[in-house]
Structure 1
Amino acid sequence: MTGDRRHLIGACAVTIIAEHGPRALTHRAVDAAMGIPQGSTSYYFRTREALLAAAVQHIVERSRSTFDELLETNSDPATLIARYLGDLLSRRRDELIARYALLLETRSNRELHDALAQSLFSTAKAQEIFVRHGVKNPESAAADLVSLLEGLIFDRCIGARSTHTHHTESSESILQLRIPIDAYLRGAR
């Protein structure tokens, strides 16, 4: 039960941050949102820093499990990545928004900041794709791909396209995301 409660608190922390910003994240706010007795959250996470770490851990774990699930059903890299982005922009939108807010909030905590910065995309996994395709400089190609993906989700989540982007994972939005990804992957080969 302790593991489940910790996981639920981390998920609730992400929702609070996404809806109200990182300053709204308090132990009392989590207790109230979860409908649990006051002081329960502080039993599991003594400090605000620990509560922030729980939110970060939730984002990291969900990213890995979601990518692994999609990896089982998609063999084409461009489609796999586009579906992953579509999932981020729809079902996992709160995690995406919370991540942006937490990246600013955790600048002074290198460990949390680095975990968040690497939470959505794995440069190492991208390198594997480029190594398999015989790209001359897979490290650079992987870093550039991650930058492209970061830009695509930022633009659609809180950037210029966020005002007219529908927050659903439709086949049309997946296709729109797939186009620049596929173009980059073909150009890097």
Structure 2
Amino acid sequence: MGSGVRPAELLLWGLAGWTALGFAGVGLSRLRGEQLRVRRGIVWLAGVWAMYLVVLIGVSLVQKQKVVAVGQPQCFDNMCFTVTGVEEVKGFLIHDQRRLVRVTVRVTNRGRSAKSDGLMEAYLVDAQWRRWKESTGVNGVGLTAKVAAGDSVISQPVFKLAGDATGLKLVLTHGWKQSGVLVIGDSDSLLHRKTVVELGR
């Protein structure tokens, strides 16, 4: 997470490029019938990736969880998301003692062209680490909305929570179907504690 290309991302890209070259070499050796080189190549590839994953998981386990305050932006490349408020949604009939909470998020594009963050997801957790996804069909402007260069839009995701939920925190994430899962130190990386926004409720 952050703006610009980080060293950890460059490291992953470099490893990916090296892996591609390694597989090409293994394939060529196989075509030539050089079985010893094939085995050595596979062992090298597996060993380097094993070491990388050990470092990745180790960093994820030792790093403390980052806590962001309301009003403080979280930037993913040129797209920044700032929680500006939270409120209970009145006037909705909620059964089984649940309630609706609306979070106001300002989405800003710091880039030079119109852009959207199509991978962005949000969910709430409480003090017991129970988790609630965004309710569909309630929010007008989504977190993945396209934003003009240098402009901002307001998104208001709504969440249906248990009535006894307290200590609410918002998590913004790209999920696990993206390269950030393998970026060392990224909040979306494997086993890393997610960055949270404390909502004060």
Same fold (TM over 0.5): no
- Pair member with larger Rg: 2
More helix by share: 1
Q: How high is the TM-score relative to the length of structure 1? A: 0.27
More strand by share: 2
